[in-house]
Amino acid sequence: MSFMFNNELMADVHFIMTNDGKETSQKNITIPAHKFVLSISSSVFDAMFNGQLAHPADDNLTIEITDIEPAAFLNLLRFFYTDQVTLCPETVMATLYAAKKYAASLLEFACVDYLKSNLNGDNACMLLAQARLFDEPQLATMCLEVIDHSTLEAVAADSFTEIDLETLCIVLQRDSLEIRESNLYSAVIRWAQAECSRNNLTATAENQRRVLDKALNFIRFPLMSIEEFASGPAQSNLLSDKEVVQIFLYFTAKPRPSIRFSDAARCCVVSKEECVCRFGKVEKRWGYSGHTDRIRFMVSRKIYVVGFGLYGSIHSSAKYFANIQLMHSDFRSVCGENDVVYSSQGNTETIKVMFKEPIEISPNVSYTACATIQGPDSYYGAKGVRKVVAGKTTFQFFYNAGNNNGTSVEDGQLPEIYFYT
């Protein structure tokens, strides 16, 4: 059947690709096809040719397509005729649209997988906007995770200035962005200037505020230093005089007055990653029977935990499955968790396993690190200490009451905690 792809032989339907009048060298291309092939490949085409509202019988039916690029429509037909998926960055979004429109679910999945595999900080914001447009929640979630961990790169990308207002608001509302608020503010101003240009407006402060609309409310001016605020937003005329005074009062008055801009901390983990190790020696062997290894800890200053270090196999290379959690000890509430798969090479080196996003840890509050591990016997740590200083952060470790698979302050699993300040 691949021979019949884009072939006039026995073609009984032709698609005129007008591309909605857009300027393109491929304008008004005619693509031949066969009703039978399209009908057995797509319920939409089947209804179009054979349903109650089908086109009248015509051996030379012509259909005008105005909303799909010719290359994307050819990708759709190629998939119907040959089962081949041909994608590139320039056509994947248009091909995804075509696949959704004509109910080609396998091609749709292939497009989404292609986007996932090519997702990075430079295109994450643009793909987030597209994922929302095409109702792809899993892709949207992955985009947000990349934006969280590569925020500087994401907002510096040219495509950031091209996203829609709702997508901008979704990004600005996130607590887990890894960026200083002053840098985020600068990126938002770039977006506002571009939006003014798209609307044929002069990029005055008044017009920038107008196009930002509700997005302005999601900039967390209280997270800036007073110097950053004074040298930037306070002089931009973007804020009213009343708003500027309120924010300055927030910086200087005690007690701080309440203001309409959020002061909730973002996960600004732009410092160097640090690691605390609580054991002085490594021993053999530690078994797993479905019980959870746990250890309580407390820190002297606010940090963001991003993962744990775990011991691996005492034998040759092996695969482990684990559920890692970080819990608030007093309330028994889960602050964060992740299901991870990792491999060990049969040596004493620990394996880093990460949470989906950094977890904020408050000072002088008890938390519990947990790991439920499935796999062969592993190494374990011994000669544990109750207090460890890592940089400027002091960790204190405590025994956790209950069944902890044997892990305690003195020995066991969970030798390391990775964190930022």
Residues 298 and 364 in one domain: yes
Same domain as 414, residue 297? yes
Q: Give me the helices (H) in 134-280, please.
A: 137-149, 151-156, 165-172, 181-198, 205-212, 226-231, 241-252
Both tokens assigned to 302: 């606010």
Write the DSSP string, 355-388. EEEEEEE-TT--EEEEEEEESS-EEEEES--SEE
Q: What is the CATH number of the domain that holds 366?
A: 2.60.120.820
Mean pLDDT of 138-166: 93
The CATH number assigned to the domain holding 177 equals: 1.25.40
Amino acid at 71: A
**Cis peptide bond N-terminal to 233, omega within 30:** no
Which residue do the tokens 């608030």 mark?
328
Q: Of 123, 191, 189, which Cα lies nearest the Cα of 154?
A: 123
- Can you tell me the distance from the alpha carbon of 160 to that of 150, in angstroms, rounded to the nearest whole number? 13
Task: Dump pLDDT digits (tens) for 53-86.
Answer: 676 666 678 889 998 999 999 999 999 999 999 9
pLDDT for the residue numbered 122: 93
Q: What mean pLDDT comes out for the span 112-137?
A: 92
Instruction: State yes or no: pLDDT of 309 exceeds 90.
Output: yes
In a domain, 182, yes or no: yes
pLDDT at 3: 80
Peptide bond into 285 cis (omega under 30): yes
Domain shared by 151 and 36, yes or no? no
User: Is there a single domain that holds both residue 72 and residue 179?
Assistant: no
Q: Is the pLDDT of residue 22 over 60?
A: no
Three-state DSSP state, 185: helix
Short-list 402, 384, 148, CA closest to 279? 384
Same domain, residue pair 179 and 207: yes
357: left (phi over 0), alpha (psi -120 to 50) or beta: beta
The string of pLDDT tens digits covering residues 316-330 is: 889 999 999 999 998
Q: Which of 91, 117, 143 lies at the terminal end of a domain, its last residue?
A: 117
Q: Tens of pLDDT along 216-239?
A: 999 999 988 888 899 999 999 999
Q: Does pLDDT of 33 surpass 80?
A: yes
Q: Which residues pair with 390 in a beta bridge?
A: 393
- For residue 255, say if its preceding peptide bond is cis, omega within 30 degrees of 0: yes
Q: Do 162 and 113 share a domain, yes or no?
A: no
- Residues 111 and 136 occupy one common structural domain: no
pLDDT above 90 (res 25): no
**What confidence score (pLDDT) does residue 52 get?**
77
What was the pLDDT predicted at 115?
Answer: 92
Number of domains in the chain: 3
For residue range 8-20, list pLDDT tens digits in order.
898 889 999 985 5
pLDDT of residue 270: 53
Domain range for 391 is 274-420
Q: How confident is the model at residue 305 (pLDDT cuts 50, 70, 90)?
A: very high
CATH number of the domain within which 71 lies: 3.30.710.10
Query: Do 286 and 388 sit in the same domain of this protein?
Result: yes
pLDDT of residue 284: 94
pTM attached to this predicted model? 0.59
Same domain, 99 and 139: no
| Residue 77 CA: distances (Å) to CA of 34, 73, 99, 158, 258 | 10, 6, 10, 33, 59
Q: Which residue has the higher pLDDT, 271 or 124?
A: 124
Q: pLDDT class for 345, splitting at 50, 70, 90?
A: confident
Angle value at C-alpha 131, between 125 and 133, nearest 5 degrees = 110
Q: What is the pLDDT of residue 264?
A: 85
pLDDT, tens only, 174-230: 998 988 899 999 999 999 999 999 999 999 999 999 999 999 999 999 988 888 899
Residue 261 domain-assigned?
no
Handedness of CA 354, 359, 365, 370 (dihedral sign): negative
The answer to whether residue 267 sits within a structural domain is: no
% of the chain at pLDDT higher than 90: 69
Q: Supply the DSSP symbol for 19.
A: G
pLDDT number for residue 55: 66
Q: Are 229 and 251 in contact, with CB atoms under 8 Å apart?
A: yes
CA-based Rg of the chain, rounded to a whole angstrom?
A: 28
Maximum Cα–Cα distance across the chain: 85
Domain assignment of residue 47, yes or no: yes
Q: Is residue 257 part of a domain?
A: no
Which band of pLDDT confidence, cut at 50, 70 and 90, is reported for residue 359? confident
**264 part of a folded domain:** no
Instruction: Indicate whether 237 and 283 sit together in one domain.
Output: no
pLDDT at 27: 58
Strands 61-65 and 13-17, sheet pairing:
parallel
Question: Do 244 and 216 sit in the same domain of this protein?
Answer: yes
Give the mean model confidence (pLDDT) for residues 367-377.
96
Q: What pLDDT sits at residue 225?
A: 83
Calculate mean pLDDT across residues 23-28. Answer: 56
Q: Which residue has the tokens 């054979």?
A: 50
Residue 298 lies in a domain: yes
268 in any annotated domain: no
pLDDT for the residue numbered 56: 67
Q: Domain boundary at 117, 145, 164, which?
A: 117
Last residue of a domain, one of 117, 140, 171: 117
**Do residues 100 and 235 both lie within one domain?**
no
